[in-house]
Amino acid sequence: MGVTLHWFLPTMGDGRHLVGGGHGNATGSAGAIRPASVGYLAQVARAAEQAGFDGALTPTGAWCEDAWLTTAMLVAHTERLRFLVAFRPGAISPTLAAQQAATFQRHSGGRLLLNVVTGGESREQRAYGDFLDKDARYARTGEFLSVVTRLWRGETVDLDGAYVRVESASLSRLPDPVPPVYFGGSSPAAGDVAAEHADVYLTWGEPVDAVREKIDWIRGLAAARGRSMRFGIRLHVITRDTADEAWAQAHTLLDALDPATIAGVQAGLAASESEGQRRMRALHNGSTDNLTIAPNLWAGVGLVRGGAGTALVGSHTEVADRIAEYHEAGIDEFVLSGYPHLEEAWWMGEGVMPILRGRGLWTPPAGAGVEAPAARSVPFAADYRT
């Protein structure tokens, strides 16, 4: 099988820099912050749809708009794009989540994918009324998903668990199709939940060998339970017609960061409870030196962004080569993004995806309407013949 490609919806706002407006923009230069309005997000979603992406991840957290509500509004602005909705089990009951998913599937024509986010930071979780520690949150997620998946099978569920309690829970209408569950986490507690419940295990963009080790780990845990799954990776991307152009853009993003901003963000990320976040920080250790950690893999995003902190940087052919390497290591799905998301969706769609298609690594989703490049005519150009 080939790869599945997803894009990202910047529900925290968007722009030409990694953080705000960089050092500020000179008169006559581009770089204003783009609010995460339905109008702008619809532009990004339509660009991703037209470029041939299968779906788009919508994040969750106090720093962005609500994923359920935003994607529900965007369904009407798109035709076939699926929405990978991130949500946190600690903030919603499993019965309500199962019902919302079923409703979303009916009204969208089956365009929901679910990204279950356990929550890596206790401080943020407490703001939402969740006072469990990290391991307990993963245990609760396991109970939560067991209820949700049973409800989707049409069962009536009673559970008096350590963290989840429901009585005579059922759905009047089942989701069709049942949305696949995407799940990530690098700790032992996360691995057990993924092996038991995930349809797609997601990891952040580490070098290929580290990703391969993580896949082998999760695959082994799943096999012990008689299960198998697909694997996905979350990466940023900077792709251009030439490698020099791509790296120039990466350096532009880096040059817009001041040391105080980097230090402040890194101090906050150092306190993270997330094992995945610790692994991301270890790729650069807060330093702007040696950010190219593997061929075409740049760790600069992680200097000022939590979560996925690496980007594929290079010519369209080089980026396609790296995607092929990750696929060979076991990655099936790629969740990509770039700054700004509107323009970068087209760089990826027009530059890299045709190469992947030509190699047989990617096939446009059904109904995408992606055509092979055609020769362009020049209006009013004379056709001189001798």
Distance CA 285, CA 101 (A): 39
Distance CA 338, CA 326 (A): 19
In the predicted model, what is the mean pLDDT of residues 92-104?
A: 97
Q: Residue 181: is its pLDDT beyond 60?
A: yes
C-alpha angle 267/270/272, rounded to 5°?
120
Distance of CA 148 to the CA centre of its chain: 22
In the predicted model, what is the mean pLDDT of residues 171-188?
A: 96
Q: What is the pLDDT of residue 97?
A: 97
Q: Is the dihedral of CA 232, 233, 239, 243 positive or negative?
A: negative
Q: Residue 54: is its pLDDT beyond 70?
A: yes
Q: What is the pTM of this model?
A: 0.94
In the predicted model, what is the mean pLDDT of residues 310-315?
A: 98
- Looking at the chain, list the stretches that DSSP marks H as alpha helix, in order from N- to C-terminal side: 38-51, 67-75, 94-108, 122-127, 134-152, 188-197, 208-224, 243-255, 259-270, 275-282, 316-329, 341-347, 353-358
Q: Are strands 297-298 and 311-315 parallel, antiparallel or unpaired?
A: antiparallel
Q: Is the dihedral of CA 204, 311, 120, 144 positive or negative?
A: negative
Distance CA 149, CA 239 (A): 39
Q: Is the dihedral of CA 195, 200, 203, 206 positive or negative?
A: positive
Q: What is the pLDDT of residue 19?
A: 83
Q: What is the pLDDT of residue 284?
A: 96
Q: What is the pLDDT of residue 381?
A: 67
Q: What is the pLDDT of residue 22?
A: 41
Q: What is the pLDDT of residue 21?
A: 45
Strand partners, 157: 169
In the predicted model, what is the mean pLDDT of residues 19-43?
A: 73
CB atoms within 10 A of CB 190: 25
Longest dimension (CA), the chain: 87
**Considering the chain, what is the average pLDDT of its residues?**
93
- Reduced to 3 states (helix: H, G, I; strand: E, B; else coil), residue 276 is helix
Domain 4-21+33-232+339-358: CATH class, spelled out = alpha beta
Q: Residue 155: is its pLDDT beyond 60?
A: yes
